Amino acid sequence: MAIQTTSNFTYNYGTYTTPYFRLVLHMPANGGQTPVDCFMYHSQEAYASGSASLACFPFYVENANAVADNTGDNVVNKYLLYVTEQVTGSLEGMSAGSTFEITEIPTV
């Protein structure tokens, strides 16, 4: 699961040009929230080459609000898409005006 920024991203008094985010989900302790580590890289190529991440943002996605249907192509991808959409919303809140594209989750 990944999120590609399609504009600049502002974080910690710095501006990053179209960074790439990789998401790592962890098992929910009680099913109520899904812990997600969101790693920021300079680019998708930097991630693929094994470069260190620029930052890691921890998020907790509320599972109670999950929608029963979205454009994911199976039950797993529907859940992954929901979690990724929630993280994207949090990133938008961190950097007003930034735009994002969800990648690497198969949809219908």
pLDDT tens sequence across 19-41: 999 999 998 888 889 999 999 99
Each residue of 49-61: pLDDT tens digit?
A: 999 999 999 999 9
Place of tokens 């098992």: 27
79-85 own/partner pairs: CB under 8 Å, 24+ apart: 80/1, 80/25, 80/105, 81/105, 81/107, 83/1, 83/23, 83/25, 83/34, 83/36, 84/1, 84/3, 84/23
CB 100 within 8 A of CB 92: yes
Structure tokens at 95: 């950097």
